[in-house]
Amino acid sequence: MSHLQQAEQSPDTERIFDADTSAIGYLPNYTRLFAHSPAVYLVWQQLNGAVKAEMELRRYELATLAAARALKSSYCGLAHGKILRDKFFDASTVAAIATEHGSADLSAQEVAVVTFAGKVATDASSVREADIEVLRGHGLDDTEIFRVILAVGARCFFSTVLSAAGAEPDPQYNDSLDEDLRRALSFGG
C-alpha cells in the first residue's frame, strides 16, 4: 500500500473509510494513507471539492491530468485519466493527452490549458504574463485562469503526499483500464 505502516483504527478513520467505500465502491489506498491524519483528509476533500465545483469538469480533469503527468504521479494519472475516459474521451484520446497532448483531439483552448497546467506544476515561479496572455487569447478570463492554477495547486499537494508516502495505485485500475491506457497514464511515481 505505501512506505508507511497502516494507521491505527479510530472513530475518525472508520468514518472516512466508510464514506469512501460507499462513494467509490472500495477503499482506496489513498484513504488508508490519510488515515494517519483524518482531519487533513477532510479539509483536503473540502478544498478540492470547492476548486472542482467552480470549474467545468472537463477542464478540471485536463488540468489535473497535466499536473499529475508533470509530477510523475501514476496514482493521480490513472484516477483522472479514467474519469476523462469515462466521461469525455475514448481510451486512445486519453492516452494521447497523457503522452503528447498537442497531438490529441483537443481544442486549441484545451491544449493551452494542459500546457499551462503542466508548467504550473513543474515550475510555478516560471509562469510569466505571456503565459497568462496565451490563455486569455484562447478565451479564458482571469477567474478561469486562477481556477486552473487552483486545480494544479491542489493536485500538487495530493500527488506529492501520495508519492512521498509511496501510495500505490489501486489494483482496480488493472480491471477498469486497458493495458495501453494504463501504461500511458503511469508516469513513474
Tell me how long the chain is.
189
Phi-psi region of 93 (alpha: psi -120 to 50; beta: other; left: phi over 0): alpha
Looking at the predicted structure, is the pLDDT value of residue 189 above 70?
no
The C-alpha cell at 122 is 513543474
Segment 98-132, tens digit of pLDDT: 998 888 889 999 999 999 999 999 999 999 999 99
**Do the Cβ atoms of 21 and 27 come closer than 8 Å?**
yes
9 pLDDT tier (thresholds 50, 70, 90): confident
The structure's pTM equals 0.94
Looking at the predicted structure, is the pLDDT value of residue 97 above 60?
yes
2 pLDDT tier (thresholds 50, 70, 90): low
Nearest to 169 by CA among 11, 25, 7, 32: 32
For residues 25-38, average pLDDT: 94
All structural domains of the chain, each given as residue ranges with its CATH number in brackets, are 56-185 (1.20.1290.10)
Q: How far apart are CA 148 and CA 165, in angstroms?
A: 26
